[in-house]
Amino acid sequence: METVRSGALVPGLALADDAHTAEVPAGELVSDTMMVKDAQGRDLTIMRAVRDENGDMVASDVILPSIVVASFRNVAERQGVVDLRFDIEVPAELTDSRWQLRLTPVMHLQGEELPLDPVFITGEHYRSVQLRGYERYSRFVEGIVTDTSLFIRTRELELFLRRNLPELYAFRNDSSRVSDEQWHSAFGITGPEAVEHYTDHFRKKLNERKAGRREKMFRKYVKSPIMAEALKLDTVVNAGSGNIRYSYVQTIGARAGLKKVELELKGSIYEEDRKLCSLPEPGMLTFYISSLSSFADTREKYLTKVVERQVREHSSCYIEFAAGKAEIQESLGSNYSEMARIKHSIREILGNRNLELDTVRITAFASPEGSFAANDKLAMRRAGAASAFFSEYTTFLSDSLAPEGGSPVVRFVSRGGGENWPLLENLLRIDTMISPGERKLCLKRMGIKNPDARERSLHSLTCYPYVQRQLYPRLRVVRFDFLLHRKGQQKDTIHTTIPDTVYRRGVKLLLEHDYEDALALLLPYRDFNTAVAFLALGKNHSALQILETLSATPDTNYMMAIIYSRFGDDRNAVRHYLDACKGDRNYIFRGSLDPEIASLTNKYDLKLYD
């Protein structure tokens, strides 16, 4: 223990090396085993520690010298995830039959500190103590009675039945059910009452108290529970001589801007439920993350947009008119608020720096009461009244906005829309107050060609008073069409370019490693960024089909080198990689970050710095 506290003996944290990895087979517990074997199948025995004269546990053999290993590695992000592979090494001197080593890798990324699932190295004696605790707790639980019928004094209950209810006692060996009514009618009590009377309540109460102490007794007997969840490994080792190496793999989701992950190892030694000490921490491992999203081309893509000189805006308001009248009354119904809406629209248009109001076309409609010809003239008169009203308001507003007379004259054009039958038909279809039968009759009579005959036919229906009172006023609508033009634009149409926001969003998702959604947006463009999205998702053939249609650049050559490396076509992979480096020397350094390219440079000893 003195050696541990001094820092001379620490668990190791090393980059994964498959050639020196000891396999840990699964056993009875989750990720558990009773034996550790190396790659050749030999048992790795654990050295026993002994107590010194002070009662401390110390290793009984010479401590092995430290081994210097690489402390960083370049790893690639693929399909939105990164696999961090590293080894946890436990020297034999750190294991003892009575100990449990609890080792927790801690990951540092982008300012966050995230503990990973721990690894437990458990000594045989430590595990046997755990199992004995579970056995003692099991015996305690077995002593809890779950069948409450065992608390009934059956002999006394049977004697009661034989003496007082012989007709029921005769059925003691019969499976027939005796109802509570039979009990009650025969003796004045119910079956449950008799059972309650002959129940040993003292024993029952003691059993309930015992059941209530379950959690307390579990803590008493099982001082160190065996963890089966949120645990990477719990390995039981026997006493012997040999080191333990556990290959740890942690998969993390890629994040925007994730370039580096650091790992440290924290650990403690436990004996039963007592923590003996914390283990000194080995040095950190660093993983540098390379992501295909870094290849994304962030240049804007533009769309051509046709800009018309003429602009149209539409608005409608429900100006109520008295029956047969064309005079505008702001105090009638909701006229004030409706006309205020139109005034606001006119103010917005006149105050717009980019648009200029030329003409306001006003179309008024009438409801169908009276003759069609009269209503046609009435609608025209109402349009004229609205034109006169808003023309006066617009002249006043123009003068106030440009007191020096610089505002153009706005022309008002009046049109009569006649009887508003189309709107009435729509209102009849959606109205819920009219019965389905009446609605069907109304819609059928809307097919009558002569409008006057059509209105007379509707007048004969029982729902007509409701239609006239509720729907007809809504037909007297006034429609406003604002005809404008863009200030300073002489041509009827001009062509301009605007950023393609859909493409921009796709590139943004690509940079954020959201490859599925990025591909959905970028697929129609079938350009370099589309190929990057395909490649990041492992869809290599689709990426290659696009890259082959693009001009040969260092970027496309490098992407194709990665693809051919994944295909196992080293010849084409090396050719494209050399072409990429020839066009852009930065790819010489980038190649060491991508495992597919790094394997090529190592395999063929490509000396690109010469």
User: Is 609 within the bounds of a domain?
Assistant: no
Q: Please tell me the predicted confidence (pLDDT) of residue 549.
A: 94
Query: For the chain, what is the mean pLDDT?
Result: 79
Q: What is the spatial distance between Cα 326 and Cα 332, in angstroms, rounded to a whole number?
A: 13
Per-residue pLDDT tens digits for 2-38: 777 766 677 777 777 543 333 333 333 333 322 333 3
User: Is 489 within the bounds of a domain?
Assistant: yes
Give the confidence band of 487 by pLDDT, cuts at 50, 70, 90.
Answer: confident
Q: What is the mean pLDDT of residues 507-531?
A: 91
Asked if residue 285 and residue 326 are part of one domain, the reply reads no
User: Is 572 within the bounds of a domain?
Assistant: yes
Q: Please tell me the predicted confidence (pLDDT) of residue 45.
A: 32
> Do 254 and 204 meet the contact criterion of CB atoms below 8 Å apart?
no
Q: Please tell me the predicted confidence (pLDDT) of residue 40.
A: 40
Q: Lowest mean pLDDT: which of 44-48, 117-121, 169-173?
A: 44-48
Q: Please tell me the predicted confidence (pLDDT) of residue 545.
A: 94
Q: Please tell me the predicted confidence (pLDDT) of residue 339.
A: 87
The residue with greater pLDDT, 609 or 227, is 227
How many percent of the chain have pLDDT more than 70?
80
Q: Lowest mean pLDDT: which of 251-255, 264-268, 338-342?
A: 251-255
What are 83's two structure tokens? 């696999």
Asked if residue 339 and residue 421 are part of one domain, the reply reads yes
Find all residues with CB under 8 Å of 30, minimum gap 6, and list them.
Answer: 228, 229, 231, 234
Q: Please tell me the predicted confidence (pLDDT) of residue 226.
A: 81
Q: What is the spatial distance between Cα 560 and Cα 540, in angstroms, rounded to a whole number?
A: 9
Asked if residue 54 and residue 10 are part of one domain, the reply reads yes
Q: Please tell me the predicted confidence (pLDDT) of residue 86.
A: 87
- Residue ending a domain, choose from 189, 221, 253: 221
What is the pTM assigned to this prediction?
Answer: 0.50
Per-residue pLDDT tens digits for 550-572: 999 999 999 999 999 989 999 99
Give the confidence band of 452 by pLDDT, cuts at 50, 70, 90.
Answer: very high
Dump the DSSP string for 120-183.
EEEEHHHHHHHHHHHHHHHHHHHTS---GGGGB-HHHHHHHHHHH-HHHHTTTT--PPPPHHHH
Q: Lowest mean pLDDT: which of 101-110, 187-196, 266-275?
A: 187-196
Asked if residue 84 and residue 12 are part of one domain, the reply reads yes
Q: What is the mean pLDDT of residues 485-504?
A: 74
Q: With the CA atoms of 518, 522, 523 and 524 taken in that order, what torsion angle do they form, in degrees rounded to the nearest 10?
A: 150
Q: Please tell me the predicted confidence (pLDDT) of residue 325.
A: 83
588 pLDDT more than 90: no
Asked if residue 431 and residue 340 are part of one domain, the reply reads yes
Asked if residue 503 and residue 486 are part of one domain, the reply reads no
Q: Lowest mean pLDDT: which of 52-56, 257-261, 340-344, 485-489?
A: 52-56
Asked if residue 150 and residue 70 are part of one domain, the reply reads no
Most confident of 52-56, 437-441, 590-594: 437-441
Q: What is the mean pLDDT of residues 237-256?
A: 77
411 pLDDT more than 80: yes
Asked if residue 448 and residue 389 are part of one domain, the reply reads yes
The residue with greater pLDDT, 429 or 51, is 429
Q: Lowest mean pLDDT: which of 64-78, 154-168, 466-480?
A: 64-78
> Do 269 and 4 meet the contact criterion of CB atoms below 8 Å apart?
yes
Q: What is the mean pLDDT of residues 144-153?
A: 85
Asked if residue 503 and residue 487 are part of one domain, the reply reads no
Q: Please tell me the predicted confidence (pLDDT) of residue 37.
A: 36
Q: What is the spatial distance between Cα 267 and Cα 527, in angstroms, rounded to a whole number?
A: 50
Q: Please tell me the predicted confidence (pLDDT) of residue 458.
A: 92
Q: What is the spatial distance between Cα 81 and Cα 538, in angstroms, rounded to a whole number?
A: 12
Per-residue pLDDT tens digits for 301-330: 887 665 555 667 777 777 878 777 888 888
- Residue ending a domain, choose from 433, 458, 493: 493
- Residue ending a domain, choose from 176, 191, 221: 221
Q: What is the spatial distance between Cα 64 and Cα 94, in angstroms, rounded to a whole number?
A: 12
User: Is 466 within the bounds of a domain?
Assistant: yes
Q: Please tell me the predicted confidence (pLDDT) of residue 47.
A: 30
Give the confidence band of 170 by pLDDT, cuts at 50, 70, 90.
Answer: low
User: Is 353 within the bounds of a domain?
Assistant: yes
Q: In which region does residue 536 sit, left (phi positive, over 0), alpha (psi from -120 to 50) or beta (all else)?
A: alpha
Q: What is the mean pLDDT of residues 292-297?
A: 88
> Do 357 and 333 meet the contact criterion of CB atoms below 8 Å apart?
no
Per-residue pLDDT tens digits for 358-383: 888 899 999 998 899 999 999 999 99
Q: Please tell me the predicted confidence (pLDDT) of residue 188.
A: 62
| Domain at 412, CATH number | 3.30.1330.60
187 pLDDT more than 60: no
Q: Domain containing 266: what range?
A: 2-124+232-294
Asked if residue 401 and residue 317 are part of one domain, the reply reads yes
Give the confidence band of 292 by pLDDT, cuts at 50, 70, 90.
Answer: confident
Q: What is the mean pLDDT of residues 345-369?
A: 85
Q: What is the mean pLDDT of residues 234-251?
A: 76
Find all residues with CB under 8 Å of 141, minimum gap 6, and list them.
Answer: 214
Q: What is the mean pLDDT of residues 232-259?
A: 77
Q: Please tell me the predicted confidence (pLDDT) of residue 29.
A: 32
Asked if residue 103 and residue 249 are part of one domain, the reply reads yes
User: Is 510 within the bounds of a domain?
Assistant: yes
Which DSSP state fits 47? Answer: P
Q: How far is CA 371 from the centre of its chain?
A: 63
User: Is 131 within the bounds of a domain?
Assistant: no
Total structural domains within the chain: 4
User: Is 299 within the bounds of a domain?
Assistant: no
Asked if residue 456 and residue 440 are part of one domain, the reply reads yes
